[in-house]
Structure 1
Amino acid sequence: MNQNHRAFWSCAMAAALLLTACGKTNAGSGSSGSMSGSSGTSSAQTQTAAWKTGLGVVTEATDQDRAGKIELAAAAVLLDGEGKLESVLLDELEVSVSADSTGHVTLPTDWRTKRQKGDDYPLAEVSSLKKGWAEQADAFANYLIGMTPEQVSMLKVDKDGKPTDADLLSGCTIAVDRYRDAVTRACANARALGAAKGDRAALGIEAVNGTSDITATDDKDVNAQVDVSIVALTTDADHRVTSAVADMAEPALTVVSDGGVTAPDLVKTKLELGEDYGMRGASALGKEWYEHSEGFCDALKGKTRTEIAGLSGDDADLKALCTIDITNLQKAALDALS
């Protein structure tokens, strides 16, 4: 079996994005603290209501013969009151899987992201800039500051996905097409959740092995799966969380008994699945997964890293909002704040 499926989500439709979530908004909309039409509404309240937090995830899965790869790029963004990028943070996870002719699957031993690997991700030594992944990704993120979502979506890259602008190339020579698309998607998803001027965006990812079997048989395929928990935060000058978005993805490569690997055509996160995730009927609270996620994020607001580390799924206040397992979402939040 030799197939090659790519699930690469590109959000370069700028006009649609502007119509959905990233255009200028009415200062009073979406804010419980504002009074639309009231002469007493202060400019500070208006600014606070307009700032938006977004999380974007783009997953690409590929296969070739008896090998496959999952690449997940994530972006946390903060949009100012004019809908322009104020803060951006990026990260990426790469998972490679292989199998032999008996259907035995070889999984990664390291589930860290590129940012988490730091110097263990050997880019600097082969880079013409002598810069590591985080340095180059941050250079790209900084290049986007002040842009509108439309401008980001129209950013030109070459056939390899690398930037073409000379100013950007001076700090970043890695392929950025997936990061561009993740930022564009984050802008489309952005909402007024409590962030304000002076806040900064943060991003955390916790990836764990979600594969139960390691050998495929004639009767049962192996789903070589990685469970990825992703949290985008904004923090104020006191390092307290002002807004949060939490999501999960469970991309998997299918391995059959002769070792053939097949990648999925499409990978959606749990937030993207929405009501289609199908948790509401099994939830003690009668809530879908995205609603539990919102409850978890509400519990993070106003807290420091130390206070979030002390959160427990058994806490009565948290259980009233969220009954899903928060273990890896909590780790992702802590990673974002580290």
Structure 2
Amino acid sequence: MKKIPRMILGCTLAAALALTACSRSDSGSSGSMSTNMGGSSSQTGQAGQNAAYRTGLGILTEASDQERAGKIDTIAAAVLLDAEGRVADVMLDEVEISVTGDSTGKVTMPTDNRTKRQKGDDYPLAAVSSLKKGWAEQADAFGNYLTGKTPDEVKKLATDDDGKPKDADLLSTCTIAVDGYRDAVVRACENAKAVGSARGDRAVLGVSVRNDTKELTADDDHDVTAQVDITVAALTLDADGRVTGAVADVAEPALTVGADGTVSAPEMVKTKVELGDSYGMRGASSLDKEWYEHSEGWCDYLKGKTRTEIAGIPDDGSDADLAALCTISVTELQKAALAAFAEE
């Protein structure tokens, strides 16, 4: 059977978070607090410039099926845009999930759900690369190449039929297919919001993958839904390693496996943020909030915190300040945020 790719676009972002009055100066100087109501003109200009820096998260998932085999390939991009709307920083990652079925309906899923970046040398690209570079090296080289470009310039980046870049300068540092990464960066730019990021910050990306498939054998009465939950966090960090802005989302792609082992990929999957009010959580929420609003609360709570402080956040709802903003389970969101620090 011919392999049929289906594009699942998860355009992820959290809504804009309020900037604090204590935003640090772009120049790095602390300055002094004005005693008048309106503040100094320099502080006003500083706040405006910091507000112009935007953070975006883009998720692009491609699912495919071929008889008794299926694949989910999810690309995530964290982007920081400067005051002029140009790319100031990029981080990329990708996770590949393969699912197979046999004639008895037995379903096999991978036990290693690490992303390509998390696998490091365990992802064997360097050995076969003409550049002798691993995946992270080449993905970071691609991100560096995009720095300083506008979203439109990124969108127009030319690739060949295999998705590889045509630009000779880029090819000298990156020979992997980049068309999917390009598209994820473009989506992140489209989603970018002012969430507190500022000049001098760096963008980091964290991914946590959880296998939510409970039953692994299909029969005539029911199919197996082979689902993974992919939680992604895009953070911006200042020079002290504190979070200045954050956006987070969850994609829940799934493949269906029938009693004869046939694998079917879905036509489209929306992330929880993309589903918006249609996700249907508000009625069951004690805060009368939808999932994306709980995510905003979580991201807002992270601002100003270090990795150690985030690691110490209880995930049982006992933190009263967090519970006032977010009552959903933050276990995977916390893992994704900590993963972002691990990859900086």
TM-score by length of structure 2 reads 0.89
Q: Name 1:6's counterpart in structure 2.
A: 6
Q: Contact 1:98–1:105 (CA<8 Å) still a contact in 2? A: yes
Tell me, in whole angstroms, the C-alpha distance in 1 between the residues paired with 2:19 and 2:250: 26
The Cα of 1:42 is off from its aligned counterpart by 3.1
Q: Name 2:340's counterpart in structure 1.
A: 336
Tell me, in whole angstroms, the C-alpha distance in 1 between the residues paired with 2:260 and 2:239: 56
The Cα of 1:9 is off from its aligned counterpart by 4.0
Partner amino acid for 1:268? Answer: K
1:322 counterpart = 2:335: no
Q: Name 1:26's counterpart in structure 2.
A: none
Partner amino acid for 1:94? Answer: E
Q: Name 1:243's counterpart in structure 2.
A: 245
Q: Name 2:302's counterpart in structure 1.
A: 300
Partner amino acid for 1:199? Answer: D
The Cα of 1:117 is off from its aligned counterpart by 0.1
Q: How many residues align?
A: 319
Residue among 231, 234, 244 paired with 1:232? 234
Tell me, in whole angstroms, the C-alpha distance in 2 between the residues paired with 1:316 and 1:198: 32
Q: Contact 2:8–2:270 (CA<8 Å) still a contact in 1? A: no
Q: Name 2:85's counterpart in structure 1.
A: 83
* RMSD, aligned α-carbons: 2.0
Tell me, in whole angstroms, the C-alpha distance in 1 between the residues paired with 2:183 and 2:333: 23
Q: Name 2:31's counterpart in structure 1.
A: none
Tell me, in whole angstroms, the C-alpha distance in 2 between the residues paired with 1:8 and 1:220: 25
Q: 1:131-150 residue pairs with structure 2 within 5 A?
A: 131-150=133-152
Q: Contact 2:87–2:151 (CA<8 Å) still a contact in 1? A: yes
1:161 counterpart = 2:163: yes
Tell me, in whole angstroms, the C-alpha distance in 1 between the residues paired with 2:201 and 2:246: 12
Tell me, in whole angstroms, the C-alpha distance in 1 between the residues paired with 2:274 and 2:69: 27
Instruction: Kindly provide the CA deviation profile for residues 237-283 of structure 1, in whole angstroms up to 9, marking residues without a partner as x.
Output: 00000000010011000000000000011121111111111111111
Partner amino acid for 2:324? Answer: A
Residue among 43, 46, 53 paired with 1:44? 46
The Cα of 1:234 is off from its aligned counterpart by 0.2
TM-score by length of structure 1 reads 0.91
Q: Contact 2:87–2:147 (CA<8 Å) still a contact in 1? A: yes
Partner amino acid for 1:7? Answer: M
The runs of 5 or more residues in structure 2 that have no matched partner are: 12-16, 24-37
Instruction: Give 3-state SS (helix, strand or coil) of 2:197's partner.
Output: coil
Partner amino acid for 2:152? Answer: E
The Cα of 1:5 is off from its aligned counterpart by 4.3
Q: Name 1:59's counterpart in structure 2.
A: 61
The Cα of 1:312 is off from its aligned counterpart by 1.2
Partner amino acid for 1:182? Answer: A
Residue among 84, 98, 101 paired with 1:99? 101
Relative distance call for 1:5 and 1:172 in structure 2 (3 A) is closer
Instruction: Give 3-state SS (helix, strand or coil) of 1:184's partner.
Output: helix
Relative distance call for 1:78 and 1:97 in structure 2 (3 A) is same
Instruction: Give 3-state SS (helix, strand or coil) of 1:43's partner.
Output: helix
Tell me, in whole angstroms, the C-alpha distance in 1 between the residues paired with 2:259 and 2:309: 48
Q: Which moved more, 1:82-91 or 1:276-285?
A: 276-285
Instruction: Give 3-state SS (helix, strand or coil) of 1:98's partner.
Output: strand
Percentage of identical aligned residues: 66
Instruction: Give 3-state SS (helix, strand or coil) of 2:208's partner.
Output: strand
Instruction: Give 3-state SS (helix, strand or coil) of 1:42's partner.
Output: helix
Tell me, in whole angstroms, the C-alpha distance in 1 between the residues paired with 2:176 and 2:165: 8
Q: Name 1:202's counterpart in structure 2.
A: 204
Q: Name 2:30's counterpart in structure 1.
A: none
Q: Contact 1:5–1:265 (CA<8 Å) still a contact in 2? A: no
Q: 1:148-297 residue pairs with structure 2 within 5 A?
A: 148-297=150-299
